[in-house]
Amino acid sequence: MSEAEVRFHRMKDLPSTHLLGGGTAMCSGCGGLEALHEIYDILGEKTVFVNAAGCMTLLSIYPFTPFRGSWLYTAMASAPAGAQGIRDALDILKHKNQITEDDNLDVVVLTGDGAANGMGLSATSGAMERDLDFLYICYDNEGYGNTGQQYSAATPHAAKTSTSKGPRGFTGYKKDLFSIWAAHKPAYVATVIGAEPLDLARKIETAKHMKGPRMIIALSPCPTGWDYDPKLTVEIGKLAVKTGIWPLKEYIDGDVKHTKIPRQRVAVEEYLKLQGRFRHLFEPERNDELLAELQAKVDDYWEGVSELAPPP
């Protein structure tokens, strides 16, 4: 999309009313719901959501739904396969002139990180290989939220989860889903967060006007699973970006570009200390060694970012 076609230049350009209905069964302060509100406003109601089992399946409970358009519930591993079925059906109906272009829908997969990084990854890889024309939105709350925040492949190192209760918390490392998706060379991959709505809006607008597989990973602060006061969702989201823990970036045509570079990075512990899942790093005594390790990981990432390198 050219610069001239970008609709969102300033915060004032963002939609001022939400398409997604209120009063859902999601927890108050849910960062995933915050991102979905913003995303849906830009995608519009000519969208069919294909939603794998997880927190967001609580949105639509028959006969109630907050969506203006269609929604399909699938098993955890199968949302991209469900998306293929819907895309094919719509294309066949169009081909037979049984629906008009105006009746066409954008097919959008919606899953948590458990489905995106684990159970549904092979179905996603297959869909990318087939060049399926769809948008995949992963709301990443860094665990299996709906079943009590067990660790997933997206859980960050040292976070306590209901299945990582040892002194170090989760001993594994967060999977790099952005790079895994980019390695498939899809049309588009981007990271977003609800607390940066302008950056999010531009990326959803870009993705909406493309064809082929397009992927969005939205870091989704989760008061219930991350153990913090729901009013802190936006502050935690902003700190994820300012500390450099959650790089905002996009992949197009083989290139990765960072869309918001935190040049004066805030110390990582400012993000960690607001969340109960990292409380063991500060109480009963400070774990300086592990805190330094977590900071070094983030520093290493940004040292490798070419946009930050001084000109040759």
Ligand X SMILES: Cc1ncc(C[n+]2csc(CCOP(=O)(O)OP(=O)(O)O)c2C)c(N)n1
Q: Does 219 bind ligand SF4 (CB under 6 A)?
A: no
Q: Which of 263, 246, 158 is nearest to 194 (CA)?
A: 246
Exposure letters 17-32 (e unless 16+ CB within 10 A, then b): eebbeeebebbebbbb
Indicate whether 225 belongs to the interface with ligand SF4 (CB under 6 A). yes
- Rounded to a whole number of angstroms, the minimum distance from the CB of residue 127 to ligand SF4 is 24
**CB 220 to ligand X: min, Å:** 8
Site string for ligand SF4, 40-69 (x = CB under 6 A): ---------------x--------------
Query: Is 271:282 a contact under the CB 8 Å cutoff?
Result: no
**Separation of alpha carbons 286 and 288, rounded Å:** 6
Angle between helices 121-129 and 79-95 (to 10 degrees): 30
The count of residues interacting with ligand SF4 (CB under 6 A) is: 12
Residue nearest ligand X, CB atom distance: 112
Told to check if 115 binds ligand SF4 by CB under 6 A, we report no
What does the alpha-carbon distance between residue 300 and residue 156 come to, in Å, rounded to a whole number? 16
Cβ proximity to ligand SF4, 148 vs 172, nearer residue: 148
Binding mask 105-134 for ligand X (x = CB under 6 A): ------xxxxx---x---------------
Q: How far is CA 88 from the centre of its chain?
A: 25
19, 20, 30, 90: which one contacts ligand SF4 (CB under 6 A)? 30
User: SS3 of 128, please?
Assistant: helix
Contacted entry of ligand X, ligand SF4, none for residue 76, CB cut-off 5 to 8 Å set by kind: ligand X
Question: Sign of the C-alpha dihedral, residues 225, 177, 233, 305?
Answer: positive
| Site membership for ligand X, residue 271 (CB under 6 A) | no
Order the strands of the 213-219 sheet from edge to edge.
Answer: 70-74, 47-52, 106-112, 134-140, 213-219, 188-193, 248-252, 255-260
Of residues 20, 48, 53, 216, which one binds ligand X by CB under 6 A?
Answer: 53
The answer to whether residue 198 forms part of the interface with ligand SF4 (CB under 6 A) is no
> Is residue 223 near ligand X by the rule CB under 6 A?
no
Q: Do 122 and 76 contact (CB within 8 A), yes or no?
A: no
Under the rule (CB under 6 A), what is the footprint of ligand X? Answer: 53-56, 75-76, 111-115, 119, 141, 144-147, 152
Enumerate binding residues for ligand SF4 (CB under 6 A): 26-27, 30, 32, 55, 141, 145, 220, 222-225
